[in-house]
Amino acid sequence: MKRVFLVAINHLRDQRWILLTMFGYALFMSSMMGVVVHRPNYQDAGFFVEQQMWFAVLFSMFLATSAVNTDMRTRRMQAILSKAVERWHYLLGIFTGITLAIASYCTVVGLLGLILSTRAGHTLPGVFQLAGSVLIAAVAVESVGLFFGLLLPPIFATTATVGFLTTIPLLAIRFASWLIYLAPVALLATQTVRQFNSGKATLMRLSLTATVVYAIIVFLIALTIFYRRDLARPTE
Amino acid sequence: MAEPVLEYRQITKDYRVGLRRRHLRALGDFSLTVNRGEIFGFLGPNGAGKTTAIHLAMGFMRPTTGWGQILGKEFGDAPTRMRVGFLAENLALHNRRVSELIEFYAELNNVPNSRKAAAAAVERLGLTEVSNRITMKLSRGMQQRVGLAQAIVNDPELLILDEPTSALDPVARVMVRELLLELKRTGKTVFVSSHLLSEVEAVCDRIAILRKGELVRVGTISQLLEQADRCSVVARGITKEGFPMAVPQNGFLMLNVEHARQREIIEHIWSSGGEVVSVNPVRESLEEMFLRLASSGKEIGK
């Protein structure tokens, strides 16, 4: 596991500018909220933290869809895989690195939400449950992003990830609501929003479990593809 | 008996390229053995398949057919790579301080006391002065040295270098040459792909020449340079009129003839009253041979 951790930290360091932008954005938005809205009310603080938190899902998708492709294109992957690093070390390292970044982001946004809500009068309940649920949703999206990122260039991989994750929920909205059970990430998202806003999510545990299982399965499929494919491109 | 450390056995590698998944054969029925303790030069024009062969050995890709071994294990075995050093062509380094980066690679290879090993590699490649600088801010030549440092940080038994001197200045090239010879003296094996024929000629024990995915020549440099199918016949007592293709040389006449016509020419010299002074295989320069093989059809196998 040492190599997985080394690859993860290395990936985080490679992505430092993107991560700084992420954290900078969260800090900027929360300071705007604190300065412009001199004394934010309780509902505003809740809306703000929820909105910022869900950006984690987008960040995880963008980070995941480009990770492997960029390393392969720049040949940095070769420098790592020329050492005693198994392919699963590498992919799990990338996965862990992105997950660590998203977990940090969710924690920071949660803390900022707490600060803002405290200024508004009293502490928001369930901020860290929200952060945990969003993190799990983001990890599932990350798995899907990594999967498509192995097959397609980043822009197409991002499009494919969005398409893959939204098609079933859109069909569920349009045709049959039961279809939402085939889309664990969307189910978790709806349950999380419901739980945070009204505390009345009935399928929270089911959706969390389903999303974790979904993330693991998609990651294992991605790993199988990564094991089979060529990791260098023809030069001519 | 020579111990093979790198073996390719009848390897074919096909790519699918473009939107129409066009078939591209990078290597065809490729077999080669590199023995322990030698410096082996791998030559060929662009697109010959050298980098593909190296990537197969490192396990970055899998052969379409055939098999290969590196240090006795099938290509792609990760623990074996702990004993291998690799420098990629057009290396892209992670953006770190030089010493940190080398240490990172050493840790990936489970090198004991990785910091000390990294410092030794940095010193060996003459990078001490820039060890605290960010790799992206170094010149291309310096980056190439960093690449070499990460390749040797684990004290590898086999070093695989893809165009190691391409971006280096003459002083650094000499340093790399000395490094390779020093590694050889300590019993290491070096497999080096290069376009710089003078470098190859200076350090390599054996070379292989690849063209369009097929091996056209392999052997020691002197064997290969003398394998040309021509010989020079030096004679005296004959005139240029009888031998229009002869070239005067030091008071003799020299004829450059094909091996197949050697006997006929010698008999012709004798029948003309001349005397054969010497018959020698024509020795091409490596560059001449490379250019001839790179542009011609398939030559001798091995």
pLDDT at position B302 is 38
The two three-digit tokens of residue B83, written as one number: 């004993």
At residue A87, does pLDDT exceed 70?
yes
Q: Is the CB of A198 inside 8 Å of chain B's CB atoms?
A: no
For the segment B175-205, what is each residue's pLDDT rounded down to a tens digit?
Answer: 888 888 888 888 899 999 987 787 788 888 8
All residues of chain A having their beta carbon less than 8 Å from the beta carbon of residue B63 are: none
Closest CA to B34 of B3, B67, B75, B65: B3
| DSSP letters for B18-70 | TTTTEEEEEEEEEEEEEETT-EEEEE--TTSSHHHHHHHHHTSS--SEEEEEE
Distance CA B261, CA A11 (A): 66
Q: Which residue of A has its CA nearest to B58?
A: A82
pLDDT at position A200 is 77
Distance CA B245, CA B240 (A): 8
pLDDT band at B91 (very low <50, low <70, confident <90, very high): confident
Contact A197, A133 (CB under 8 A): no
The two three-digit tokens of residue A204, written as one number: 């929270």
The arithmetic mean of pLDDT across residues B9-19, rounded, is: 85
Long-range pairs of B118-125 with CB within 8 A, sequence gap ≥ 24: B118/B149, B118/B153, B120/B153, B121/B149, B121/B150, B121/B152, B121/B153, B122/B98, B122/B149, B124/B149, B124/B152, B124/B179, B125/B149, B125/B152, B125/B175, B125/B179
pLDDT band at B88 (very low <50, low <70, confident <90, very high): confident
- Cβ of B86 and A230 within 8 Å? no
At residue B38, does pLDDT exceed 50?
yes
The arithmetic mean of pLDDT across residues B4-29, rounded, is: 85
Q: Which residue of B has its CA nearest to A16?
A: B95
Please list the alpha-helical segments (H only) found in A15-41: 16-36
pLDDT at position A7 is 94
Listed ranges B94-98, B176-180, B188-192, B226-230; the one with the highest mean pLDDT: B188-192
The arithmetic mean of pLDDT across residues A132-150, rounded, is: 93
Distance CA A71, CA A61 (A): 16
pLDDT at position B34 is 93
Residues 211-230 of A with CB under 8 A from B: 230
pLDDT at position B143 is 87
pLDDT at position B48 is 84
Contact A215, A136 (CB under 8 A): yes
All residues of chain A having their beta carbon less than 8 Å from the beta carbon of residue B58 are: 78, 81-82
For the segment A31-78, what is each residue's pLDDT rounded down to a tens digit?
Answer: 877 766 666 677 777 788 888 888 899 999 999 999 998 888 888 888
Distance of CA B103 to the CA centre of its chain: 29
pLDDT band at B1 (very low <50, low <70, confident <90, very high): low
Residues 115-134 of B with CB under 8 A from A: none
Among partner residues B26, B108, B110, which is closest to A234 by beta-carbon distance? B26
All residues of chain B having their beta carbon less than 8 Å from the beta carbon of residue A230 are: 15, 55, 60-62
pLDDT at position B300 is 40
Higher pLDDT, B300 or B180: B180
Higher pLDDT, B248 or A161: A161
pLDDT above 70 coverage of chain A, percent: 96
Here the ipTM equals: 0.83
Contact B292, B284 (CB under 8 A): yes
For the segment B44-54, what is each residue's pLDDT rounded down to a tens digit?
Answer: 888 888 899 99
Distance CA B60, CA B113 (A): 28
pLDDT at position A235 is 61
- Cβ of A81 and B84 within 8 Å? no
For the segment B133-173, what is each residue's pLDDT rounded down to a tens digit?
Answer: 998 888 888 888 898 899 999 999 999 998 888 777 788 78
Q: Is the CB of A18 inside 8 Å of chain B's CB atoms?
A: no
For the segment A127-140, what is each residue's pLDDT rounded down to a tens digit?
Answer: 888 889 999 999 99
Among partner residues A74, A83, A230, which is closest to B108 by beta-carbon distance? A83
Among partner residues B80, B84, B92, which is closest to A76 by beta-carbon distance? B92
pLDDT at position B194 is 84
B277 membership: H or E segment, kind and range: strand B275-281
Closest-CA distance of chain B to residue A99, Å: 20
The arithmetic mean of pLDDT across residues A157-182, rounded, is: 87
Q: Is the CB of B193 inside 8 Å of chain A's CB atoms?
A: no
Q: Among B46, B55, B89, which would you mutate to test the A interface (most chain A Cβ atoms within 10 Å of its Cβ)?
A: B55
**What is the pTM (predicted TM-score) of this model?**
0.84
pLDDT at position A36 is 64
pLDDT above 90 coverage of chain B, percent: 30
Instruction: Say what angle helices A154-174 and A127-151 make with each other, to 10 degrees.
Output: 120
Distance CA A73, CA A78 (A): 10
pLDDT at position B49 is 87
Higher pLDDT, B188 or B292: B188
**Torsion from C-alpha of A235, B5, B11, B15, nearest 10 degrees:** -20
